[in-house]
Amino acid sequence: MAQALVLDFGGVVTRTLFETHALTEQALGLIEGTLQWRGPFDPDSDPLWRAMQADEISERDYWRTRTREVGRLVGEDWRAMETFVQRARGAEPEKVVRPEADSAIRAVHAAGFRLAILSNELDLFYGADFRRRLPLLSLFDTITDATYTGILKPDPRAYAFVTAALGLPASACVFVDDQQRNVDGGRAAGMRTVHFDVAQPALSYAEALGHFDLVPAV
C-alpha cells in the first residue's frame, strides 16, 4: 500500500488562475471578461499556453508573461509572479483551495499516511508568508519548493528531495501533478502517479485516494 501522498500545489491544491478570472478581475478592479486566456481549459485560444506545452517556453516563462500583461492592465510594472498572485488572491487564500483537495488531504492525514508538497514555485508565486496564512499546509510532513532548491520538476533530483525528506522509497509515494511532463518525471523516478485533470478534480482525487484504499468524502 502507498504510504505518502505527494502533491503539486498550484492547480492541484488550489484552483488555477484560469478558473478564478472573475475573482481576479474583481480584486483588481478590471471589467468583467477582461482576462481571456484560459490555458488548459481552452488551449486553442491561448497560443502562449500551447508553446509551453510544446516545451518552447517554461511554465515560469508563461506566468512571467501573464504577470507583466496583467500589471499593465492596472497601470503598474509587475515583474514578480508573487505580485500577481497576492494581488489577485492573496488576502483570503482559503477561497481558492479546491474543496476536493481539502477533503482528500484531511482524509489521508486522518488515516495516518504521510503528506508532502513538491512545487516548482510555491513561495515564488504565493509569497514566503503564505504558508502561515493557509492552516491546511500545517498537515504536511514536508514541503519541497524549487523556489529554494533551484531544481525544477521533472528533474529527477526534485523527486529525490521528497523521498529523502519522507524517508520512503519512491514506490511508496503517490505523486499528483497537473502537468504531464512532471507526471512522467515522477513515474520515471519510481513513484505511483496521477495526472491531475483540472477540469475533473473530484475524479483525480478519487484516483489518488484509491492508492490508499480511501474514498472521497461525499
DSSP-assigned states of every residue in 113-170: -EEEEEESSHHHHH-TTHHHH-GGGGG-SEEEEHHHH---TTSHHHHHHHHHHHT--G
- Whether residue 217 has pLDDT greater than 70: no
- pLDDT on residue 91: 64
Question: Domain 4-15+94-210 belongs to what topology?
Answer: Rossmann fold (3.40.50)
Mean pLDDT of 141-166: 97
Which tens digit of pLDDT belongs to each residue from 54-112?
A: 989 988 899 999 999 999 999 999 998 889 988 887 567 788 899 999 999 999 999 99
pLDDT recorded at residue 118: 98
User: Who wins on pLDDT, 126 or 202?
Assistant: 202
**Which among 183, 202, 199 has a CA at the least distance from the CA of 191?**
183
What confidence tens digit (pLDDT) does each residue in 47-61 have? Answer: 999 999 998 998 889
* pTM exceeds 0.75 for this model: yes
- Report domain extents, the chain: 4-15+94-210, 21-92
More confident residue, 85 or 117: 117
Give CA–CA dist 218/215, Å, rounded.
9
Residues facing residue 177 across a β-bridge: 195
Residue 114 reports pLDDT greater than 90: yes
pLDDT of residue 82: 84
Residue-level pLDDT at 125? 83
Check pLDDT > 60 for residue 185: yes
What H or E segment, with its residue span, contains residue 39?
none
> So what's the pLDDT on residue 218?
57
